[in-house]
Every structure is written in C-alpha cells, then in structure tokens.
Homo-oligomer: A and B are copies of this chain.
Amino acid sequence: MHDGRGIDDGAAQAGGEASADAHLREQRLGGETLYAGGFVELHRDLVRLPDGQQATREYIVHPGAVAVVPLLDDGRIVLVRQYRYPVAKVLVEFPAGKRDAHESTLQCAMRELREETGYTALEWAWGGAIHNAAAYSSESIWIWFARGLRAGAAEPEQGEFVETVTLSAAELEAFELRGDLPDVKTQIGLHWLQSWRAGRRALTWLAAEDAAGL
C-alpha cells in the first residue's frame, strides 16, 4: 500500500544512507486514515522507534505543490496576494498550488501560473524541492523559475480570490527585512533568485515547448 510518504527518495538525504541512520529511522507498523476531506487527508500510523519502542505519528498526506518564480523581462517579479484563512492574513506569495493526479511538477507549474496570473512563459528552469512541515505533513514544494513571460487572462478556480502584483527583488527583500514576507516558499524562492543573479546558483533554462513533456 502506498502510504503517501516520500519513501523512494528518503535514503540518500543529508549525506546519510538508510543503514547509517538506523539509530534515527522509524519503521511503519500499520496505520489508518483518520479523515479524508475535500482538502486535507489525515493519517495516524503506528511506528517502531529506533530503540524498539512503539509510538504513533499523525500527519497530513499531501500530493505536493509547486511554486513559480516568474521573472518579467524588466527584472520585476510576478506574485499574488491571497487571503490565507488558517493564519487570518493576506500574504504576498509566489503563484503556487497543489499538484493534480497525473500531472508533472512542471505541468502543474505552468497551469498554476496561468490560472492565478494569466501569464505563460517561454522558458522554465528547475529550482529545487523543499519540505515545509516535515513534522506533520508529507508535503514537498517544488520550485520552478519562469521567464519570457507573456500576459493573458487569469483563470482562478471557483472560490479562489487572488490578485497579481509585480515587485522588484529589492522591494521584496525590504518586505522580508521588515517581516512582511512570512510565506516560506516565497522567501526561499527569492533567496534562490538572488543567489542565481549573483552567480552562486546555476539554473538550466528549457524552452517551454521542449519542457512541456517533463
């Protein structure tokens, strides 16, 4: 049974093979779905701890999400402002959304950018993956960069209210320094953008028509 966790890519993380981390790893003994709603799926598993004792682990099973760092030809960046109910705040964020079944991370990135902002992009570059709530969620956020943007009409989903804003990296860094950029994927995407522009991070750009099958 697939239990929703990232088993496949778990072994080689952080410089340690699974066998070398036997003193840290937990083994799944069984589990159940506590709740499967319209948005959130909650699981509780029984695990064996490294010392042989047993414990329970409660966590959200999440399909993963993408975030897009969309770069305008003049250097500004396209973001969205969106009300986030759980924290009761309007947040400035990179366009983002959950991956649909049978969709690659890039297909998801292309769709979310178009739906939320109307933009399409001529070129795409893979940024990397992050875990935003590893204590209680299986979520990965896959970050893609987009450039060669062409404006179009946004197609928000039913019940989704977002507005597009364009800002420079300097304006976003000022937001961050005064505490007004609390969204983690947005701070990290901004840092990656700055390290790419400074020549410390490499990005490999693919033409959209070549990349669409990825």
Contacts and interface: CB of A to CB of B under 8 A. Distances in A.
A44 B49 contact: no
Interface stretch (A70-78, A104-112, A128-136): A128-136
Nearest to A90: B21
Interface in A151-176: 159, 161-163, 175
Contact of A200 (B23, B86, B177, B187): B177
Interface in A3-42: 5-7, 9-10, 13-16, 21, 23-26, 34-35, 37-40, 42
A59 B86 contact: yes
Contact of A161 (B24, B37, B85): B24
Interface of A: 5-7, 9-10, 13-16, 21, 23-26, 34-35, 37-40, 42, 44-45, 47, 49-51, 53, 55-60, 65, 81-92, 128-140, 159, 161-163, 175, 177, 179-185, 187-188, 191, 195, 200-201
